Amino acid sequence: MKSYCIHQIGQLPQKVNKSIPTVKDDELLLKLSASSLNHRDIWITKGLYPGIKIDATMGADGCGQDENGQDYIINPGLEWGNNEAYQASNFRVLGVPDDGTFAEYIAINKKYVLQKPSHLSTLQAAALPLAGVTAFRALFKRANLQKGEKVLISGIGGGVALFAMQFAIAHGCEVLVTSGSSIKLEKAISLGAKAGYLYHDVEWTKNLLADFGGVDVIIDSAAGSGFQQLVKICNPGARIAFYGGSQGKIDGLNPQTLFWKQISLLGTTMGSDLDFKEMVSFVQQHQIIPIIHSVYALDELHQGFHYMETAQQFGKIVFEH
Ligand SMILES: NC(=O)c1ccc[n+]([C@@H]2O[C@H](COP(=O)([O-])OP(=O)(O)OC[C@H]3O[C@@H](n4cnc5c(N)ncnc54)[C@H](OP(=O)(O)O)[C@@H]3O)[C@@H](O)[C@H]2O)c1
């Protein structure tokens, strides 16, 4: 079967012919119908991710069909363990070191599959898993988001960020967003965000405070020097959940502001099996449709990687197998 593997650090995944995996008793063989790209896949090709195994098939997200024609989505969080508070030391994300979804078939433990929500196409379902569970845990398990609260989602063009926006709106919250692109801000507003701010504009926090008076929850993946701007717009008791650090180390934080305003800084990563199940139910209950920026054939995988690297996307980049 066709599969795209990490062959060498600094190289995009290479097409390799592998045999169709043999399944163990507790596994299902799925013929993958679609997969999707996460920023993690870019970090892996650059060698900037732990646990890289050369020649493993890449790809964390996927949707596939079993021999009976049932469509499943795959939970990419392997071996979370029994503690809902944090993952076990052998937790891994599907797609390096374990063989992932950028292939024609996958053998996957039955405990990591759920039936595809019926309102989603296979392409939409493949866009959901990793980014969806990360957004769900950040909002509801870590930041304990309450109906009616004001939420800021930074960098709205990102896959996780967009799910966070959709989930918070569905939960009855007022959502504000930032982006490096005014076109992305307009798109977010057309999808229900109340307002958008360009994070490169030095006045953005001042403008947000004047317009909305502050926020209760912030979801961020950038960190870096811009993180101190996020603290400025926090209401007393605010929670900031962050799942990435694409802009580097957090600096310039004023401890007095943090403790006086009772602000919580919450690191968060993906989600447990329970988080995944609850996220899929939430998506089903609210009939949420993942936002797809572009669909490529699996053989056009490199185009998807190039597109994400230039950060032009608004939504997920999906591969049709
Ligand atoms: N811990 C976890 O479980 C977990 C899970 C998923 C992702 N992540 C990490 O989170 C990050 C995003 O992942 P993704 O898959 O959503 O990537 P993505 O789709 O490529 O999104 C990256 C987004 O970052 C935003 N961004 C860039 N510079 C920014 C800045 N200065 N301030 C605020 N936002 C900025 C951009 O938003 P605009 O285009 O709107 O400017 C861009 O769309 C990556 O570093 C990834 O490794 C971690």
- Tell me the CA–centroid distance for residue 22 and ligand 1, in Å: 36
d(CA 279, CA 221): 19
What is the model's pLDDT at position 84? 98
Mean pLDDT of the chain: 97
HSE-up (13 A, CA, CB side) for residue 288:
26
d(CA 83, CA 62): 25
What is the model's pLDDT at position 125? 98
- Tell me the CA–centroid distance for residue 313 and ligand 1, in Å: 11
What mean pLDDT do residues 50-58 have? 95
Residues 139/131, Cβ–Cβ less than 8 Å: no
- Tell me the CA–centroid distance for residue 232 and ligand 1, in Å: 21
What mean pLDDT do residues 127-154 have? 98
Task: Give the residue, by CA position, lying nearest to ligand 1 atom 10.
Answer: 244
Whether residue 134 has its Cβ less than 6 Å from ligand 1: yes
Burial 43-54 (b: 16+ CB within 10 A, else e): ebbeeeeeebee
d(CA 113, CA 49): 25
Task: Give the residue, by CA position, lying nearest to ligand 1 atom 2.
Answer: 269
Q: For residue range 2-43, what is the model confidence (pLDDT) as tens digits? A: 999 999 999 999 999 999 999 999 999 999 999 999 999 999
Task: Give the residue, by CA position, lying nearest to ligand 1 atom 18.
Answer: 158
Q: Are strands 105-109 and 61-65 parallel, antiparallel or unpaired?
A: unpaired
In the block, residue with structure tokens 């989602």: 153
- Tell me the CA–centroid distance for residue 244 and ligand 1, in Å: 7
What is the model's pLDDT at position 312? 85
What is the model's pLDDT at position 210? 98
Whether residue 226 has its Cβ less than 6 Å from ligand 1: yes
d(CA 234, CA 32): 43
What φ, ψ does residue 157 adopt, rounded to 5°? -65, -20
Rounded alpha-carbon distances, angstroms, from residue 104 to 20, 28, 43, 65, 161: 8, 14, 23, 11, 29
Q: Are strands 105-109 and 27-36 parallel, antiparallel or unpaired?
A: antiparallel
Contacts of 121 (CB under 8 A, 6+ apart): none
Whether residue 271 has its Cβ less than 6 Å from ligand 1: no
Whether residue 155 has its Cβ less than 6 Å from ligand 1: yes
Query: To test ligand 1's pocket by mutation, which of 167, 246, 249, 312 has the most ligand atoms within 8 angstroms of CB?
Result: 246
Whether residue 270 has its Cβ less than 6 Å from ligand 1: yes
What is the model's pLDDT at position 311? 83
Residues 139/145, Cβ–Cβ less than 8 Å: yes
Domains and CATH numbers, the chain: 2-128+290-320 (3.90.180.10), 134-267 (3.40.50.720)
Query: To test ligand 1's pocket by mutation, which of 35, 36, 37, 39 has the most ligand atoms within 8 angstroms of CB?
Result: 39
Please give the full DSSP string across 170-223, using - where no structure is assigned.
HTT-EEEEEES-HHHHHHHHHTT-SEEEETT-TTHHHHHHHHHS-EEEEEES--
Q: For residue range 192-233, what is the model confidence (pLDDT) as tens digits? A: 999 999 999 999 999 999 999 999 999 999 999 999 999 999
Query: To test ligand 1's pocket by mutation, which of 58, 160, 250, 312 has the most ligand atoms within 8 angstroms of CB?
Result: 160
Q: Are strands 150-153 and 113-115 parallel, antiparallel or unpaired?
A: unpaired
